Amino acid sequence: MKTFAMMVLGCKVNDYEATYLRNKLLNDYKEVTFKEVADIYIIFTCCVTNIAEAKTRKMLHRARNLNPNAYIVAVGCLAQIKGKNEEFKDIDLVIGSNHKDEIYDLINKHFIGNKLEELNKPKFEKLFFDHYPGKSRAFLKIQDGCNQFCSYCIIPYARGSERSGNYVDLINQANLLSKTNKELVLTGIHTGRYFDGKNHLYDLLLGLNEIKELKTIRLSSIEINEISNSIIDLMKNNNKLAHHLHIPVQSASNKILKLMNRPYTIEEYINRINYIRKEIPDISISTDLIVGFPLEDDEAFEETLNNLFKIKFSFIHVFPYARKKGTKADSYSGHLDSSVKKQRVSKVFELEKNIEIEFKKSFINKKLELLIEKKDDQYVYGYVKQYFYVKAKGSGNIGDLVDVIIEEVNELEVLGHVA
Ligand code: SF4
């Protein structure tokens, strides 16, 4: 039996697409680790961080060294941007943001001697499968691509223009996954822009809501101006839609938001958050933030810190700005030293630490729902619907949703017991 090894870098969308391919390959091929000799090496690449880029190069090099005759496949964002350039010339198959539904056939064809080509036409591929092995929560890719062109972001170039999965196909796929996974995370590059020509995100949420076996539906990330009042109402009146929204703010200074080409002011962002919190008081709102963007002077950074303090996110993914060749921001003047960016990351961490703990403490003595990911003799472990990790005394099965009472919150963990 021929063997394959797979490495998945980057985001949930890569994870979803890789799971689709892995499930198909396992019918005909045996999986080995990326440290072993394999006939096929597949890398789902990422271009968002320099670390992911460096790791991709390292893995490609390792694959060629382990087996000079291996068939090497690079898939995803970095593959799309680099194409078959000097660095990637040694790779047999480069699949960028499209045609991922054809990789399996292309691999098979290779072993019967067909010539392979890099392909290039944008469409939403039907990457559907019936189970998500090894995960208590399954991802469902509903959308791909982005038309926003934020000035720092390479994704619209890498993933191409927006397209969405067909409503009926997605409901069918969700039905299949719900047999083994109680929680579904809706993923995409610009999820809030889901539109299949007839149905918007709200319609899809309504349809998913009807699936009996599905206990939790979670939106992975959504832009502030794409959370409609009907979505908020649905979330408020329906226990299935997790009370958690990840809403990238990216900066909390209007000057920087404008330079970033983000489509809102910080006042608009805060007003909308206030409205959401008024409607759904126990909601967790988290965010992504970039610090050290070109021309972010001390004043702009202070404005950001002050606004973060006002907003009080339940957690912040903070990144130092990284230059990306080909983006608008790369050509800006006023790039900052990495030492300044580092200091700003630490300041955000410092500010956020207590806010995060206070948020979790607001649930002490309250009942929350936890999806069990791990267990031992005394405890079950997993994320609650508000998306923080809890260690709860009691028992249950992996993949089950149980009620837990929160008892204690400290810097390291949140403790509770199964109700
Ligand atoms: S919305 Fe902006 S940050 Fe998000 S993928 Fe599109 S361009 Fe990138």
Give the C-alpha separation, 143 to 383, whole Å.
25
pLDDT, one tens digit per residue, over 166-177 is: 999 999 999 999
Contact 368 CB / ligand 1 (< 6 Å): no
Is 60 exceeded by the pLDDT of residue 118? Answer: no
Six-digit token pair at 117?
A: 């080509």
pLDDT band at residue 164 using 50, 70 and 90 as cut-offs: very high
User: Could you name the CATH architecture of 272-362?
Assistant: 2-Layer Sandwich (3.30)
Is 50 exceeded by the pLDDT of residue 122? Answer: yes
Distance 190 CA to ligand 1 centre (A): 7
Averaged pLDDT for residues 178-205:
93
Domain ranges (residues) in the chain: 3-111, 122-242, 272-362, 367-418
Nearest alpha carbon, ligand 1 atom 4 = 190
Residues 6+ apart with CB under 8 A from 248: 221, 223, 287, 288
List beta partners, residue 246: 286
SS3 at position 217: strand
Distance 156 CA to ligand 1 centre (A): 7
pLDDT, one tens digit per residue, over 48-80 is: 888 888 888 888 888 888 888 888 998 888 877
pLDDT, one tens digit per residue, over 233-291 is: 999 998 799 999 999 999 999 999 999 999 999 999 999 999 999 999 999 999 999 99
What integer best gives the mean pLDDT of the chain? 90
Rounded percentage of the chain residues whose pLDDT exceeds 70: 95
Is 50 exceeded by the pLDDT of residue 113? Answer: no
Distance 306 CA to ligand 1 centre (A): 24
φ and ψ of 11, to 5 deg: -95, 180
Please tell me the predicted confidence (pLDDT) of residue 362.
96
Distance 194 CA to ligand 1 centre (A): 14
Nearest alpha carbon, ligand 1 atom 8 = 153
Distance 349 CA to ligand 1 centre (A): 23
Give the C-alpha separation, 377 to 365, whole Å.
24
Contact 189 CB / ligand 1 (< 6 Å): yes
Q: Which superfamily does 3-111 belong to? A: Methylthiotransferase, N-terminal domain (3.40.50.12160)
Averaged pLDDT for residues 106-112:
75
Give the C-alpha separation, 11 to 137, whole Å.
15
pLDDT band at residue 115 using 50, 70 and 90 as cut-offs: very low
List beta partners, residue 371: 383, 401
Higher-confidence position of 382 and 156: 382
Contact 263 CB / ligand 1 (< 6 Å): no
Please tell me the predicted confidence (pLDDT) of residue 105.
83
Give the C-alpha separation, 294 to 251, whole Å.
12
Averaged pLDDT for residues 371-380:
94
pTM of this prediction?
Answer: 0.77
Atom nearest to 189 CA in ligand 1: 5
CA separation (Å) from 190 to 123, 199, 273, 277, 281? 15, 15, 19, 23, 26
Query: Fold match between 122-242 and 272-362?
Result: yes
Distance 295 CA to ligand 1 centre (A): 20
Letter for the amino acid at 237? N
SS3 at position 232: helix
pLDDT, one tens digit per residue, over 311-358 is: 999 999 999 999 988 889 999 999 999 999 999 999 999 999 899 999
Please tell me the predicted confidence (pLDDT) of residue 101.
81
Please tell me the predicted confidence (pLDDT) of residue 120.
47
Atom nearest to 147 CA in ligand 1: 6
User: For the domain bounded by 122-242, which CATH number is listed?
Assistant: 3.30.750.210
Please tell me the predicted confidence (pLDDT) of residue 243.
95
Fold classification of 367-418 is: OB fold (Dihydrolipoamide Acetyltransferase, E2P) (2.40.50)
Contact 150 CB / ligand 1 (< 6 Å): yes
